Amino acid sequence: MHQLTIAEIVRGLRDRQFSSVEITSHLLERIQQLDGQYNSFITVTGDQALKEAAAADARLAEGNAHALCGVPIAHKDIFCTNGVRTSCGSKMLDNFVPPYDATVVDNFQQAGAVSLGKTNMDEFAMGSSNESSFYGPVKNPWDVQRVPGGSSGGSAAAVAARLVPGTTASDTGGSIRQPAALTGTTGLKPTYGRVSRWGMIAFASSLDQGGPITRTAEDAALMLSVMASSDKKDSTCLDRPAQDYTANLNDSIQGLKIGVPKEYFGEGLDSEIGARVQEALKEYEKLGAELVEISLPHTHLAVPAYYVIAPAEASANLSRFDGVRYGYRCENPADLRDLYMRSRGEGFGEEVKRRILVGSYALSAGYYDAYYNKAQQVRRLIKQDFVDAFSKVDVIMGPTAPNPAFKLGEKNADPVAMYLEDIYTIATNLAGLPGMSLPCGFAHNLPVGLQITGNYLDEARMLNVAHQFQQASDWHQKSAPTAE
């Protein structure tokens, strides 16, 4: 039962092959037995999940339930959940129990989905390996000595381990697509503003975007159809009605123009990963698509620009966690200054402190123009690169990550090497474009991800392109050896 995709669960529930209580119980038992080796969950809400499943079964019996009614999912611990701890992977919020639901969570509740709990993540979504969580690192189900990628590594590992068929996640610089690539799952980062950020704890507000991690593009379309809605509580959320992203999955891609950036296949890319991506591109040619070499000339500036803009926004967003207004408070402070300094010093981990310091420096008097303002100018150039490219092609493809999953602790002493793991994903966030990663083979016996970047609000075409590849290949059906 745990090998079923979301689409298969939907059909099974409608055909009365099993009930929501039965599949929810099966997955909860599996989490209890197996998650000790992955650490993919921070909080499991078993009793609440069974109540939601029983309610879903009642709605299904009435015959007019939503498509996702009764389907078990899990939420990244960055989304606020009413009455359930929302830690954001940090000691700072270890005891935070929100009195409200994020809009994304509320959308899934309205659809009748069943939440199994909250998945592990890098602290405040800062990291490319899922090793910075206060609750310990997440392990990759393909090799538990290796990282699953970050910051949505808990969500990706839970799907790869077949503990849950789909999860919510968030992507600031590649945090949905990179862990999806490293765990052999399918992850989708929508256009900025397509999914409400209300109730999603902010890291870098102009870059953060929620999205799903699933096993297939069809499942991602099912989840995005629930997640994507207009929201008056989020002024950055686009005023677009909900859309059925499954409607065009079976459209032909004959004549599709695929842009292949020459900058994505140079120095730094693992040769086996490059070979698997090229093989996937050839498969698209067999399906009738045309490959067009393009150039994104400012690609090399994406990582430096990102690591000025994102920490600058993080330093502002995280200023509220001071032991007075929000978050952890130190014990027995000597005075107000001691309260502020020790609360933040004890509550935040090393990676969060590093980014707050970088961001504060970039925004400080005398350095704003030299760093932050310059980074925003570079961001505009990167965005223009994509505008020019999409005047010639329909989608852009390349590798999601330059390397396969690396070993736990391997890059902890070198933050720059860690940051470069997002080198192919960051530009998409700076431009606000949608992107996704899907399995396209193996390198060094570990999963490889193919990245698809779409034009603004073109998620339907992107999902159609991914679904057609998955109809012609079986990489997305491969199961991690520890997850059988």
What's the pLDDT tens digit per position in 3-37? 999 999 999 999 999 999 999 999 999 999 999 99
Q: Distances from the Cα of 166 to the Cαs of 206, 213, 467, in angstroms?
A: 26, 6, 16
Catalytically annotated residue among 19, 20, 40, 76: 76
| pLDDT, tens digit, 9 for 90 and up, residues 402-426 | 999 999 999 988 888 888 889 999 9
Peptide bond into 151 cis (omega under 30): yes
Helix 20-34 / helix 6-14 crossing angle, nearest 10 deg = 140
Mean pLDDT of 121-143: 97
C-alpha to C-alpha distance for 170 and 355, rounded to whole angstroms? 18
Residue ranges and CATH numbers for the domains of the chain are 6-255 (3.90.1300.10)
Angle, CA 236 vertex, CA 233 and CA 241 arms, to 5°: 75
- Token match 């393909």: residue? 142
143 has a pLDDT exceeding 90: yes
pLDDT, one tens digit per residue, over 169-183 is 999 999 999 999 999
136 backbone dihedrals φ, ψ, rounded to 5°: 95, 160
Contact yes or no for 173/422 (Cβ under 8 A):
yes
pLDDT at 216: 98
Model pTM score: 0.97
Mean pLDDT taken over the chain: 96
> What tens digit of pLDDT does each residue of 351-404 get?
999 999 999 999 998 899 999 999 999 999 999 999 999 999 999 999 999 999
Hey, CA dihedral for 93, 95, 101, 104, is it positive or negative?
positive
Categorize the per-residue pLDDT at 444 as very low, low, confident or very high, splitting at 50, 70 and 90.
Answer: very high
133 annotated active-site: no
The pLDDT value given to residue 228: 96
237/63: higher pLDDT: 237
CA distances from 212 to 39, 283, 408 (A): 19, 25, 25
Residue type, 347: G
Q: Which of 20, 133, 175, 229 is catalytic?
A: 175
- Residue closest to 228 by CA, chosen among 208, 248, 245: 245
Task: Tell me the sheet residues that pair with 321.
Answer: 326
* Residue with the two structure tokens 């119980």: 25
For this structure, is 175 an active site residue? yes
Mean pLDDT, rounded, for 307-333: 96
Residue 64 has pLDDT above 90, yes or no: no
- Per-residue model confidence (pLDDT) at position 417: 84
What integer is the mean pLDDT of 200-225? 98
Instruction: State how far the alpha carbon of 15 is from the alpha carbons of 8, 10, 53, 115, in Å.
Output: 10, 9, 16, 22
- Strand pairing of 72-76 and 114-119? parallel
Question: What is the tens place of the pLDDT at every residue in 181-191?
Answer: 999 999 999 99
* HEC secondary structure over the chain: CCCCCHHHHHHHHHCCCCCHHHHHHHHHHHHHHHHHHCCCEEEECHHHHHHHHHHHHHHHHHCCCCCCCCCEEEEECCECECCECCCCCCHHHCCCCCCCCCHHHHHHHHCCCEEEEEECCCHHHCCCCCCCCCCCCCCECCECCECCCCCCHHHHHHHHCCCCCEEEEECCCCCCHHHHHHHCCEEEECCCCCECCCCECCCCCCCCCEEEEECCHHHHHHHHHHHECCCCCCCCCCCCCCCCCCCCCCCCCCCCEEEEEHHHHCCCCCHHHHHHHHHHHHHHHHCCCEEEEECCCCHHHHHHHHHHHHHHHHHHHHHHECCCCECCCCCCCCCHHHHHHHHHHHHCCHHHHHHHHHHHHHHCCCCHHHHHHHHHHHHHHHHHHHHHHCCCCCEEEEECCCCCCCECCCCCCCHHHHHHHHCCCHHHHHHCCCEEEEEEEEECCEEEEEEEECCCCCHHHHHHHHHHHHHHCCHHHCCCHHHC
- CB atoms closer than 10 angstroms to residue 255: 9
Residue 43 near residue 118, CB atoms below 8 Å: yes
Q: Catalytic residue at 257?
A: no
Q: 460: which residues sit within 8 A by CB, 6+ positions away?
A: 243, 245, 247, 248
Choice among 20, 90, 133, 151 that is catalytic:
151
Tell me, what's the pLDDT at 484? 75
Q: Say yes or no to pLDDT of 256 above 90.
A: yes
Tokens 């005023």 belong to 239
- Quickly tell me which residue has 């001691």 as its tokens: 338
